[in-house]
Amino acid sequence: MCGIFGVVGQEKGLVSKLMAGLSKVEYRGYDSAGICISRPEGLDLKRAEGILDNLKQIVGDMEDGYCGIAHTRWATHGPPTEENAHPHCDPQFRVAVVHNGIIENEVQLRQILIEATSNTCFKSETDTELVAHVLAQEVDAECGDAIPDDEQLLAAWRRSLDRFDGSFSLAAVVKGREDVILVARSFSPLILALNDAGYLASDVSCLIGMVKDVFFIEDGDWGLLRKDGMELFDSEGEPVVRESTTLQWNEEDAELGGWPTFMLKEINEQPGVFRSCLQGRLSRDALRGVKISFKPDLVRIIACGTAFHAGLMARHYIEELSGIPCIVDHAHEFRYGTPSGPKALVLGISQSGETADTLAGLMAAQERGYPTLSIVNVESSTIARQSDSILTIRAGPEIGVASTKAFTGQVLGGLLVALRLGRLSNKVRSEELAVINNAARRFPNAMERLLASSQLEKGLKRARRLFHNQDHAFFLGRNSSYPIALEGALKLKEISYIHAEGYAGGELKHGPLALIVDGTPVVVISSDGIIQQKLFGNAREVAARGARVIMIAVEGDEEASAHADVVITVPKTHRLLQPIMHNVVCQLLAYHVAIDRDCDVDRPRNLAKSVTVE
Amino acid sequence: MLAAGRGVRLGGLTDSRSKVMLPVAGRPIIEWLLQEMVEAGIERATIVHGYAGARILSSLGSGKTLGIELDFVEQSSPHGTLGAALDAMNSLPLDEDVLILNGDNIVSASAIERLMSADGPSLLIAEHDNPHEFGVVTLNGNMIAAIQEKPQPHESLGRVVSTGALRCPVLWREVFESTVKVGLTGIPDAIRNLLDDDDVEIEAIRTDTWVDVDHPWDLIDMNATLLNAIEHHVSEDADVHPSAVISGIVHISENVVIHPGTVIDGPVHIGPNCEIGPMAVITGSTTVGAGARIGPFSRIRSSFLMEDVQIDSGTWLQRSVIGPASVLRSHVHVDVGETQKIGNSGEFIVRRLGLVTGEACTIGHGVVSAPGTILGSQVTVGRRVRISGEHPSGSDIQSGGV
């Protein structure tokens, strides 16, 4: 949440470079955006409410400079207005600051600042403005009105940082010092890079195409960024050198190409994600690259949002394939709970690898002595580096705020973990692994056939009509299709703003049935065997009360059409993989319903990608 | 670039993708053509997609990695190649010339250069053994005199055909529109109108490096031609056993595992994440698509295997096209021989052919396939069954001697 970008040492084209960088982190927040260019004569600030396009309209005539910082905001403190947009300055316009995260001692700091100077006035309701005030005061204390040298700047920066509690990544420019940007990281992500200029960003995606190597600075690091180098210190004030990493993704992966939206692009990338996630890991009868060194007595999965639903799928896999009991918690609930018990493996799932709650949960688990394993998409993310071992899903950059392809990768990651645990507990034999491997080889093609099928197109056309003028919708599943019901409902609410709930079919009569009225769309995600019959029963029950039933079933399921207004069939695959196929239909259904309602699917209201604040 | 058609005559091979996306010699046909275009100095292209267009968008991105700037237009009406060309031309300035290429056949960079440097409207022509499949061209010196689309088998008009690669003024779109209005949908139809009604001159540019795909067996020839263009490369991430024999031009992609005693004699392209052997033999002009698994003692020659194919042990395969995610169990024997097929205009075509399968077919243990057997998609063939002829998608063939 909130995107930060900064460039120092740009000879020409600074404004367009800052805007290009911002456009790639816009998915982290689109409540407001702003840039500040530091020039010898002073700080030049432009900010605008709303999406980045609004800022674009007012920076056209902005003069280029040598050094600038930029920000795209997901509002935490105060409404999304221009006044609350970053960068924020002190009253004398000596420093400008961009910030991702939350300063937790904001109230006390504000009080202290007001008491210290009678004429302090704050222009915004943000915690970030306080950072600007504090830094300006500290610079003033170091060198008065003179231009600070490196030593004075670092001293002022360190004393400022000591006064902030909470999670933040910060970048600041100081009048008269266009040659440096001050940087600091506490908990929230911040990445530095050097190429033709010095770069900083909260996300690798905005650096793709600009640099080849990046420096992941560690929690507590702070210092200076220049055109051709950086001076960094750890939280103790000791100088540190951080290693660079080569970027894995290329520029095109993070671009729209011919697609109307990132979400549709990413839905269609899923066959490829499936292939690359399994590449080299699952072969004839061997499982490679999934490192778990012991057989746990319990697996505890922690995740949020879509990743939480992938965690629910993982639990099915783990309990079935290994017999090891498994608990799935929301990371934010786990974090403040008191997990205890037998020899457990804690499994974190996060697309970005920066999800604040999942990270905090994993660290809490480590403090209690539990080994941690994480399923992430961003290999160089904080969670990946903090965990004892990782499994990367290799989905490529996911830009769409509503997660799609990452879910597919996460579910597969969960399956790989379950297979490994199954091997460790001698429950999965080579023959079974071979069967799953053969099914997995055929899976991407089956998904490609689904995506190209006219049956799907026609089915979606009929299904989406049922959502016209509806405010509520339900998704029903059972057993392994239950997490898909939850995920389907989440996708629909995220991007179409229709209130949707996912329920286990068996729960229907314990409450939710009361909400079914004439015309309510109910999506039933089919399963197999005896469970399928139970779901048909549920479909009949809601239909009898006026609901319009959309059934997602496998090809050849003759009975499905008897219980539904619209049936959309998907290719049949291995029982364990089938829910991933069903989910693609849910994704596309949510997508088209949202488009019908003129929603901005890549920028759903109030949301942002990569939840880096609690 | 016209890339909206499905390629119906390729049967099950185009169930989930259009013809231009068939990964011949390791990459989609359209990418091979784009590479020639880039080499000819073309900086920007508009791709008109239709059937399974999502695959094209996913694969090509913005074109940056290929070195070209790409725009995409979805074909708005089913009016054949003319409709597709119009969709792309509508946004072009009227005072310029446009180059119209079919995304599913390959013309060389030098041919493209000659079209671009011609003085005015020009059409790329080539000689072909089966002229009846195409628009047959009559010449008047260097100029096109007449064009006849897919003549009847008994008509004999010579062997020179239109490749469909045309360079013309954007202004011609008015003629294209009026041609569409009278119900004709091919670019040759519009050219004929221009030649008949208007006083238009079109220069004929000859090429002898044109590769087109219409029928499944054409893929075997295109595969062989394009494999001549690959370079020898063994990825650092490939695991090739020291006892494996690799000779000739062979491309081995990342994460490939080659087990002991396997012989690979190029030109052969092996896509990423394949597992081959032990003791398998892959020879001459063969493409093995990504994610394939080829079992012990299997022998594959002059064939085009698409992604995620599984071939178990001791299976013999020659001059065959195996669709994605198809499985050939052990000891499948594919006979190869001269096969007579019927072309678009009812003429006979004779080709050496083995087996063609669509997507996700399952061929049981010990199956024997007669020369020229063509299966649709998701066809299941039971153990030890003899198959021949053509079978539609979804067939379940459980008894032998067909």
Q: What gap in Å lies between CA A334 and CA A355, rounded to an integer?
A: 14
Percent of chain B residues topping a pLDDT of 70: 98
Per-residue pLDDT for A368 more than 80? yes
* Contact residues on chain B for A255, CB-CB shorter than 8 A: 61-62, 64
What residue type is assigned to position A523 of the chain?
Answer: V
* Contact residues on chain B for A442, CB-CB shorter than 8 A: 308, 325, 327, 360
- Which candidate from A256, A284, A452 shows the least CB-CB separation from B17? A452
Higher model confidence: residue A89 or residue B77?
Answer: A89
Mean pLDDT of A254-266: 93
Among the options A24, A46, A227, A609, which is catalytic? A609
**SS3 readout for A333-399:** HHHCCCCCCCCEEEEEEECCCCCHHHHHHHHHHHHCCCCEEEEECCCCCHHHHHCCEEEECCCCCCC
Task: Assess whether A609 carries a catalytic annotation.
Answer: yes
**Closest listed residue to residue A157, CA positions, set A191, A185, A176:** A185
Chain B 314-333, residues with CB within 8 Å of chain A CB atoms: 324-325, 327
As a CATH number, domain A453-608 is 3.40.50.10490
Query: A499-504 and B143-149: which strand pairing?
Result: unpaired
Are B58 and A268 an interchain contact pair (Cβ–Cβ within 8 Å)? yes
Task: Identify the band that residue B344 occupies on the pLDDT scale cut at 50, 70 and 90.
Answer: confident
Domain coordinates of chain A in residue numbers?
A: 3-252, 256-450, 453-608
Nearest CA in chain A to B324: A445
* Contact residues on chain A for B310, CB-CB shorter than 8 A: 438, 441
Evaluate whether A322 touches A421 at the Cβ level (below 8 Å): yes
Are A279 and B273 an interchain contact pair (Cβ–Cβ within 8 Å)? yes
Task: Identify the band that residue B153 occupies on the pLDDT scale cut at 50, 70 and 90.
Answer: low
Are B55 and A275 an interchain contact pair (Cβ–Cβ within 8 Å)? no
Are A257 and B293 an interchain contact pair (Cβ–Cβ within 8 Å)? no
Q: What gap in Å lies between CA A59 and CA B164, rounded to an integer?
A: 47
Q: Which of B66, B71, B273 to mutate to test the interface with A (most CBs of A within 10 A)?
A: B273
Q: Does B61 touch chain A (CB under 8 A)?
A: yes
- Which candidate from B51, B55, B57 shows the least CB-CB separation from A257? B57
Confidence at residue A58, expressed as pLDDT on a 0 to 100 scale? 93
Per-residue pLDDT for A251 more than 90? no
Confidence at residue B402, expressed as pLDDT on a 0 to 100 scale? 43
Task: Identify the band that residue B59 occupies on the pLDDT scale cut at 50, 70 and 90.
Answer: very high
Confidence at residue A568, expressed as pLDDT on a 0 to 100 scale? 97
Are B57 and A448 an interchain contact pair (Cβ–Cβ within 8 Å)? no
**Closest listed residue to residue B101, CA positions, set B48, B160, B47, B164:** B164
CA of residue B171 relative to chain centroid, distance? 31
Average pLDDT over chain B reads: 92
What residue type is assigned to position A34 of the chain?
Answer: G
Question: Does the fold of domain A453-608 match that of domain A256-450?
Answer: yes
Q: What gap in Å lies between CA A583 and CA B261, rounded to an integer?
A: 43
Percent of chain A residues topping a pLDDT of 70: 99
Per-residue pLDDT for B154 more than 70? no
Per-residue pLDDT for B345 more than 90? no
Per-residue pLDDT for B321 more than 60? yes
- Which candidate from A255, A256, A441 shows the least CB-CB separation from B308? A441
Say whether B137 sits in a helix, a strand or coil. strand
Per-residue pLDDT for A611 more than 90? no
Q: Does B133 touch chain A (CB under 8 A)?
A: no
Buried b (16+ CB within 10 A) or exposed e, B282-303: bbbbbbbbbbbbbbbbbbbbbb
Q: Say which range, A316-330, B90-104, B136-150, has the weakest mean pLDDT.
A: B136-150
Q: For domain A3-252, give its CATH number from 3.60.20.10, 3.40.50.970, 1.10.510.10, 3.40.50.300.
A: 3.60.20.10
Are A445 and B47 an interchain contact pair (Cβ–Cβ within 8 Å)? no
Average pLDDT over chain A reads: 93
Are B16 and A252 an interchain contact pair (Cβ–Cβ within 8 Å)? no
ipTM of the prediction = 0.89
Write the CB contacts of A54 (distance below 8 Å, at least 6 apart in sequence).
A33, A48
Mean pLDDT of A371-399: 93
Q: Model confidence over A532-590: pLDDT tens digits?
A: 899 999 999 999 999 999 999 999 888 888 899 999 999 999 999 999 999 999 999 99
Percent of chain A residues topping a pLDDT of 90: 76
> What is the widest separation between alpha-carbon atoms in chain A?
82
Are A275 and B273 an interchain contact pair (Cβ–Cβ within 8 Å)? yes
- Which candidate from A257, A284, A438 shows the least CB-CB separation from B60? A257
Are A449 and B359 an interchain contact pair (Cβ–Cβ within 8 Å)? yes
Mean pLDDT of B185-190: 89
As a CATH number, domain A256-450 is 3.40.50.10490
* Contact residues on chain B for A256, CB-CB shorter than 8 A: 62
Buried b (16+ CB within 10 A) or exposed e, A312-327: bbbbbbbebbbebbbe
Task: Identify the band that residue B156 occupies on the pLDDT scale cut at 50, 70 and 90.
Answer: low
Question: Could you say which DSSP state residue A218 is in?
Answer: P
Q: What gap in Å lies between CA B162 and CA B127, rounded to an integer?
A: 9
Helices and strands in chain B: count of H runs, count of E runs: 7, 41
Q: Which domains are present in chain B?
A: 2-214 (3.90.550.10), 227-397 (2.160.10.10)
Say whether B102 sits in a helix, a strand or coil. strand
Task: Assess whether A2 carries a catalytic annotation.
Answer: yes
Number of Cβ atoms within 10 Å of the Cβ of B333: 14
Whole-prediction pTM: 0.90
Per-residue pLDDT for B365 more than 60? yes
**SS3 readout for B28-63:** EHHHHHHHHHHHCCCCEEEEEEECEHHHHHHHHCCC
